[in-house]
Amino acid sequence: MAMEDVTGRPPPKSQMRASPVVWARRNLFSSVGNTVLTLACLYLLWLAVPPVLDFTIFSAVWSGTTRDACLGPDKGACWPFIRANIGQFVYGRYPADEIWRVNVVFGLGAVALVPALIPSAPAKRFNLIFLLVIYPLIALVLLAGDRPGLRPVPTSEWGGLLVTLVVALTGIVVSLPLGIVLALGRRSSMPAIRMLSVIFIEFWRGVPLITVLFMASVMLPLFLPEGMSPDNLLRCLVGVALFSSAYMAEVVRGGLQAIPAGQYEAARALGLSYWRTMGLVVLPQALRHVIPGIVNTFIGLFKDTTLVLIVGIFDLLGQVRAQLSDPSWTVPQGALTAYIFAALVYWVFCFGMSQYSNFMERRLNTARER
Amino acid sequence: MKNPLVALIAGILIGAGGLYFFLPYDPLTLGGGAAQVSSGAAGDGAERASAGETLRRVRNRGFVQCGVSQGLPGFSSPDERGNWSGIDVDFCRALAAAIFGDPAKVRFRPLSAKDRFTALQSGEIDILSRNTTWTMSRDTQLGFDFIGVTYYDGQSFMVRKAAGIKSARDLAGGTICTETGTTTELNLADYFRSRGLSYKVLSFEKNEEALVAYDRGRCDAYTTDASGLYAQRLKLTDADANMVLDDVISKEPLGPAVRQGDPQWEDIARWTLNALLNAEELGITSDNVDEMLESGNPRVRRLLGREGAYGEAVGLRPDWAAYAIRAVGNYGQMFERNVGTETPLGIKRGLNALWSDGGVQYAPPVR
């Protein structure tokens, strides 16, 4: 074994790692200001973390089947309440003997989604077509059940996480393509298309989502003849989808504007048509620029779905609140427990989305990483 | 010059469109009824059909669409398996049983306080059974009719037992926690000012905050409607150390409402409630209703459809009331099962006792 000449190379990583004391001295206590800030932060953590851990874990009630288990002084979170109601939180009031349909939809979605998210998985094209076109149709038929052999389940009986996912995924799946079309429309050279896109975007961006939902749920039935109003959930789905596509359009437009004019001109010079220019040259670059913005919109949309609560649709949060009113489970710490649980579920989904977008960004941006 | 012109034309078009959508609605429903009457000049058969429209629609649909709250303990709340329970819910079950003979033929539509009235006006629900206070303006201006009172509620106070407060008057000079922007504050002011008593109010944006403030001892009393107080009491760290005063300082009669303009449907709903009240008065329960069918008491026989044709008069079967009682019990059973002293809420009958027991629940007789 020949000796390597290592002069001029940085030391191996394992030797670069400083001991914790050195690291702390270098990073946390390097100056008076830093020391004060560090101590203040530690104090805040000490104030906040132990009570939270104590409430959620150490003095929490973990077992029991009735509210009596959670009563008493110094009892923390009432987890039996969550366990007893978990079915309600996930499925809402979906009929108990039809829950397999929801499970099939969830399972099928997971099976189709996972390979779609893994870049190296095979049959990407088929997978995406299945996920974006065939799967929603299957899900619709299975959930609503207006086909022979299936018992119809009106959307007023859907609830919980099911509704949250239906609203959020519909919004996400519809808003991206619609947003791209609108963004292209807004930058189009044809005045009519440009004006329509601008009007659409500015209208939907100019009204609060709550107004949209209220109009859809409260005003629309008054305009329509008695007993002829479309399904309440459907009205909200359309409202949410149109609303989020307006936001998506502006995000995508930001990406389009970052593409230098030379790219368009080069594509044109190669004889590419408008759609091929956009599809092959401009959009792949533009969308890559705005992945953080797109995911930001998705995450915002996911959390905004809780607003359907005000029009009487029980999403996860609505269901959690409804179960709180069950007198056989009303306990002093019930509301806090339930909200912690709901926050955790939302966090898991939003954090998942954000981590996946980070992964995609790193993968797509390897060439330009700085 | 061009742009303002375009805007003007667009404005006119949108305005006209809005008018087109807005205006015809009310005239249409009112005029619709009138048209029915005039075209039905041949006989009153046509008129009766239009009056019985709700029942016909409910029968065709196969279930009653009932608007309830999004969760109010004891009135309408879903349990772990998603079954609704509560007084408001049971009333709808009784109605379904009276119509179909099956209390399960009802679907509940949870409504927020804001969209409850529209849902009834637009026909999305057949009956609004959602702890709604019967007031003159709601009865006369919104196009509904209230059919009775399922629960006599009223604003009251929760105090600590140790404080030795026995009535609302003892609260003079004390601090009272409440929610802002509701009539509770107004009622409070009316009550204390009219008696020349001083008080301090501590109001909060949400009732949860007000309750926490009370629990931590920042105020001597917490005020809201009595039914709400009993429910909120369960959220206190030591529920048993607190009590709800018997004093009630406002009238909040809660009752179901139906759309105006269909007297038959209104009668069905009203008499279903009356039947439950009369059943309690006559000692008919869900357990003994089948034996009571053989009773010799003419009042019982009329209520249960053994004599007379009271059910047919509103388009129902003769023994409609027996089905309603079998489904949910009489009013007293309904009360005790959902909010009574054996439930966590532990509400005493009080005003909601029958008139013969010192309350104000009084139903006209079936005769």
User: Is the Cβ pair B115, A93 closer than 8 Å?
Assistant: no
What per-residue confidence (pLDDT) applies to A73? 80
- Domain span at residue B219? 155-250
Average pLDDT over residues A55-63: 91
8-state DSSP, A2: P
Residue A150 lies in a domain: no
Q: Are residues B148 and B258 in the same domain?
A: yes
Q: Are residues B144 and B258 in the same domain?
A: yes
Q: What is the dihedral of CA B179, B182, B183, B187, to 10 degrees?
A: 20
For A198-234, write each residue's pLDDT tens digit: 999 999 999 999 999 888 877 777 777 765 667 888 8
What per-residue confidence (pLDDT) applies to B37? 33
Q: Are residues B274 and B339 in the same domain?
A: yes
Which conformational region is residue A182 in: left (phi greater than 0), alpha (psi within -120 to 50 degrees), or beta? alpha
Residue B26 lies in a domain: no
Contact A173, A109 (CB under 8 A): no
Average pLDDT over residues B92-107: 95
What per-residue confidence (pLDDT) applies to B21? 47
Percent of chain B surpassing pLDDT 70: 86
Nearest to B70 among A218, A312, A334 (CB): A312
Nearest to A322 among B71, B109, B121 (CB): B71
Whichever domain contains B237, its CATH number is 3.40.190.10
What per-residue confidence (pLDDT) applies to B121? 87
What per-residue confidence (pLDDT) applies to B68? 93
pLDDT at B36 over 60: no
Residue B23 lies in a domain: no
Q: Are residues B222 and B276 in the same domain?
A: no
What per-residue confidence (pLDDT) applies to B16? 56
**CB of B110 within 8 Å of any CB in chain A?**
yes
Residue A149 lies in a domain: no
User: Is the Cβ pair B70, A335 closer than 8 Å?
Assistant: no
Q: Are residues B161 and B283 in the same domain?
A: no
User: Is the Cβ pair A221, B118 closer than 8 Å?
Assistant: yes
Closest chain B residue to the Cα of A227, Cα to Cα: B123
d(CA B96, CA B106): 6
8-state DSSP, A328: G
Contacts of B31 (CB under 8 A, 6+ apart): none
Burial of A88 (0-12, 13-18, 19+ CB in 10 A): buried
Encode chain B in three state secondary structure.
CHHHHHHHHHHHHHHHHHHHHHCCHHHHHHHHHHHHHHHHHHCCHHHHHHHCHHHHHHHHHCCEEEEECCCECCCEEECCCCCEECHHHHHHHHHHHHHHCCCCCEEEEECCCCCHHHHHHCCCCCEECCCCECCHHHHHHCCEEECCCCEEECEEEEEEHHHCCCCHHHHCCCEEEEECCCHHHHHHHHHHHHCCCCCEEEEECCHHHHHHHHHCCCCCEEEEEHHHHHHHHCCCCCHHHEEECCCCCCCEEECCEEECCCHHHHHHHHHHHHHHHHHHHCCCCCCCHHHHCCCCCHHHHHHCCCCCCHHHHCCCCCCHHHHHHHHHCCHHHHHHHHCCCCCCCCCCCHHHCEHHHCCCECCCCCC
Residue B31 lies in a domain: no
Residues β-bridged to residue A61: A78
d(CA B66, CA B127): 5
Average pLDDT over residues A294-302: 93
Give the SS3 label for residue A61: strand
What per-residue confidence (pLDDT) applies to B18? 52
pTM for the full predicted model:
0.80
Number of domains in chain A: 1
pLDDT at B33 over 50: no
Residue finishing a domain among B213, B234, B250: B250
Residue finishing a domain among B232, B250, B268: B250
pLDDT at A362 over 90: no
Residue A302 lies in a domain: yes
What per-residue confidence (pLDDT) applies to B26? 38
Round the average pLDDT of chain B to a whole number and report it.
Answer: 85
Q: Are residues B239 and B105 in the same domain?
A: no
Question: How does residue B360 score in pLDDT terms, banded at 50, 70 and 90?
Answer: very high
Burial of B255 (0-12, 13-18, 19+ CB in 10 A): buried
What ranges in chain A are assigned the alpha helix state H? 13-16, 20-27, 32-53, 79-91, 99-117, 124-129, 135-144, 160-186, 191-206, 209-214, 220-223, 232-257, 261-269, 274-276, 283-289, 291-304, 316-324, 334-364
Closest to B125 measured CA to CA, from B259, B229, B243: B259
What per-residue confidence (pLDDT) applies to B79? 86
Residue B268 lies in a domain: yes
What per-residue confidence (pLDDT) applies to B341? 92
Whichever domain contains A263, its CATH number is 1.10.3720.10
Q: Are residues B132 and B176 in the same domain?
A: no
Residues of B in contact with A151 (CB under 8 A): none
Nearest to B77 among A94, A218, A327 (CB): A327
d(CA B230, CA B243): 8
8-state DSSP, A312: T
Q: Are residues B286 and B318 in the same domain?
A: yes
**CB of A318 within 8 Å of any CB in chain B?**
yes
For A239-267, write each residue's pLDDT tens digit: 999 999 999 999 999 999 999 999 999 99
Nearest to A310 among B72, B82, B112 (CB): B112
- Pick among B13, B36, B87, B115 to test the A interface (most A CBs inside 10 A): B115
Residue A221 lies in a domain: yes
A264, amino acid identity: Y
Residues β-bridged to residue B243: B159
Six token digits for residue B109: 């539509």
Residue A363 lies in a domain: no
User: Is the Cβ pair B208, A88 closer than 8 Å?
Assistant: no
In total, the C-beta contacts within 8 angstroms joining chain A to chain B are 120
Residue A14 lies in a domain: no
Q: Are residues B312 and B222 in the same domain?
A: no
Average pLDDT over residues B303-323: 92
Residue B330 lies in a domain: yes
For B132-179, write each residue's pLDDT tens digit: 999 898 899 888 899 999 999 999 999 999 998 988 889 989 999 998
What per-residue confidence (pLDDT) applies to A187? 92
Closest to A179 measured CA to CA, from A346, A259, A305, A296: A296
For B48-84, write each residue's pLDDT tens digit: 335 688 999 999 999 999 999 988 899 999 888 888 9
Residues of A in contact with B57 (CB under 8 A): 227
What per-residue confidence (pLDDT) applies to A124? 84
B172, amino acid identity: A
Residue B11 lies in a domain: no
- Domain span at residue A293? 161-318
Residue A167 lies in a domain: yes
A:83-142 residues touching chain B, CB 8 A cutoff: 84-85, 87-88, 91-94, 96
Q: Are residues B182 and B320 in the same domain?
A: no
- Pick among B26, B124, B208 to test the A interface (most A CBs inside 10 A): B124
- Identify the weakest region by mean pLDDT among A9-23, B53-67, B91-105: A9-23
Residue A102 lies in a domain: no
**CB of B44 within 8 Å of any CB in chain A?**
no
pLDDT at A272 over 80: yes
ipTM: 0.74
Of residues A95 and A42, which shows the higher confidence score?
Answer: A42
Round the average pLDDT of chain A to a whole number and report it.
Answer: 88
Main-chain dihedrals φ then ψ at residue B150, nearest 5 degrees = -90, -20
Average pLDDT over residues A73-91: 90
Nearest to A312 among B111, B122, B231 (CB): B111
Main-chain dihedrals φ then ψ at residue A346, nearest 5 degrees = -60, -40
What per-residue confidence (pLDDT) applies to A89? 93
Residue B305 lies in a domain: yes
Distance in Å, alpha carbon of B124 to nearest chain A alpha carbon: 6
Number of domains in chain B: 2
pLDDT at B113 over 90: no
Residue B365 lies in a domain: no
Contacts of B3 (CB under 8 A, 6+ apart): none
Q: What is the dihedral of CA B205, B207, B212, B216, to 10 degrees?
A: 90
Q: Are residues B332 and B281 in the same domain?
A: yes
What per-residue confidence (pLDDT) applies to B22? 42
